[in-house]
Amino acid sequence: MSVNATEHPALDVIQNRWSPYRFEPRVVEDEKILTCLEAARWAASSFNDQPWSWIIARRQDTVEFERMVGCLMEPNRGWAGHAGVLILTVTRNSFAYNKKPNRVALHDLGQAAAQLALQATALGLQVHQMAGVNLSLIRQEYGIPEGHEPQTGIAIGYPDSSDPVGELASELHRRETGPRQRRSLGEQVFGEKWGAQAEFVS
Amino acid sequence: MSVNATEHPALDVIQNRWSPYRFEPRVVEDEKILTCLEAARWAASSFNDQPWSWIIARRQDTVEFERMVGCLMEPNRGWAGHAGVLILTVTRNSFAYNKKPNRVALHDLGQAAAQLALQATALGLQVHQMAGVNLSLIRQEYGIPEGHEPQTGIAIGYPDSSDPVGELASELHRRETGPRQRRSLGEQVFGEKWGAQAEFVS
């Protein structure tokens, strides 16, 4: 899974990060979880507002873990239920320093989540993020206050590299072991106008 | 600037990333720019939609570079005008595969931007991102089509480590060389309820 056709050699942790659908049903060491959260903590954010927060459930805390699994959309519950850690992410809508709306809170959550995922990769873990979470249930279940928004789910764990068993497992295996594909730089890097390829991008 | 009190040791590129206000007014090598964009390209995104695009102006393309400086909010024009590269970021609002609204497009742009920034750090560059851009001017100036949204600006360059000159320079220097501060993990990692510190986070 670490092989992909990067046109220009990016950092190893970037090349080796992927989103597994199969995790070993195994506890993740607290020190590794804390290091992932620490990596997220140092992300850049507008006015250093750090508009993110994390609700976390570890696999070994079975009641809390199952409660969080129930807050995922149905198609995610099966595979994510094997992860070592689940996280629900929350943003604050307004800047702490002036109470004005923060247009980029979701963007900055994404930056923090990306750093978390790369740190996980460096520790031998992988992360699979989900937009498919039950936002209204999360708000109710975890008492998310006004001015804050539940946003995404994050599964962290040791990827399962064993042979898949059964039809569903095979399908997930196919999805996760297929080539990682991305649009070319030419399709996403523009120069004088949006849609006009930048000339130095070949 | 590489020193900060991380409680658990995160990746070097995460610890060494910062947001300078002073860049050397110096061209960035194309290969480095492309490697940063390549790092962004491999970010995770919901349904692998990769909803980001980048409009880019290099310092040496003076007319285009000045045009882009003019699309930043006034307080950013001075310092960002010294960068080697400017980028305006754009998201696509709807998934390519089914045309439905993508609730996390801005989040996924943030993930790509974070990977870009970490890659820049690894190459001896630094990035300073801006929410302060003129969104309506960018739309008009670069012909951003319906269904896409201009979002942020990114300045990339070699940080200027010389002694600052003048009052404004001193103020910027103070801002960029002060200790990097973040909320503690205890303030952002919750367990059974939002706001209730997770017990394993000390």
**Residue A174 maps to a domain:** no
pLDDT score at B169: 66
Count: domains in chain B? 1
**Residue B185 maps to a domain:** no
Q: What is the DSSP letter of B133?
A: B
Task: Work out the pLDDT band at B1, boundaries 50, 70, 90.
Answer: very low
pLDDT score at B101: 98
**Residue A50 maps to a domain:** yes
User: Is the Cβ of B73 closer than 8 Å to some Cβ of chain A?
Assistant: no
**Residue B191 maps to a domain:** no
Give me the residue from A111, A144, A183 closest to B50, CB to CB: A183
Q: Give the β-pairing of A52-58 and B189-190.
A: parallel
Q: Which residue has the higher pLDDT, B164 or A87?
A: A87
What is the C-alpha to C-alpha distance for residues B196 and A55, in angstroms, rounded to an integer? 9
- B104/A151 touch (CB, cutoff 8 Å), yes or no: yes
Q: Each residue of B168-189: pLDDT tens digit?
A: 666 766 777 777 799 999 999 9
pLDDT score at B18: 96
pLDDT of A163 > 80? The answer is no
Percent of chain B at pLDDT above 90?
Answer: 84
- Torsions phi, psi for B123 (to 5 deg): -100, 10
Report the predicted TM-score, pTM, of the whole model to 2 decimal places.
0.93
Interface of B with A in 158-197 (CB under 8 A): 180-183, 185, 188-195
In the block, residue with structure tokens 């929350």: A90
**Residue B122 maps to a domain:** yes
pLDDT score at A1: 33
Determine the structural domain holding residue B115 and report its residue range. 12-167
CATH number of residue B27's parent domain: 3.40.109.10
pLDDT of A104 > 50? The answer is yes
- B109/A110 touch (CB, cutoff 8 Å), yes or no: yes
**B chain contacts of residue A142, beta-carbon cutoff 8 Å:** 190, 192-194
What is the C-alpha to C-alpha distance for residues B176 and B73, in angstroms, rounded to an integer? 19
The residue in chain B having the minimum alpha-carbon distance to the alpha carbon of residue A91 is B188
The HSE-up count of residue B126 (CA atoms within 13 Å, CB side) is: 22
Task: Work out the pLDDT band at B2, boundaries 50, 70, 90.
Answer: very low
**Residue A189 maps to a domain:** no
Cβ atoms within 10 Å of A152's Cβ, excluding its own: 23
Give me the residue from B11, B54, B143 closest to A188, CB to CB: B54
Q: Which residue has the higher pLDDT, B125 or B5?
A: B125
Burial class (CB in 10 A: 0-12, 13-18, 19+), A6: middle
Least confident among A8-12, A185-189, B123-127, B171-175? B171-175
Task: Work out the pLDDT band at B4, boundaries 50, 70, 90.
Answer: very low
pLDDT of B164 > 70? The answer is yes
pLDDT score at B3: 40
**Residue B146 maps to a domain:** yes
**Residue B192 maps to a domain:** no
pLDDT score at A13: 97
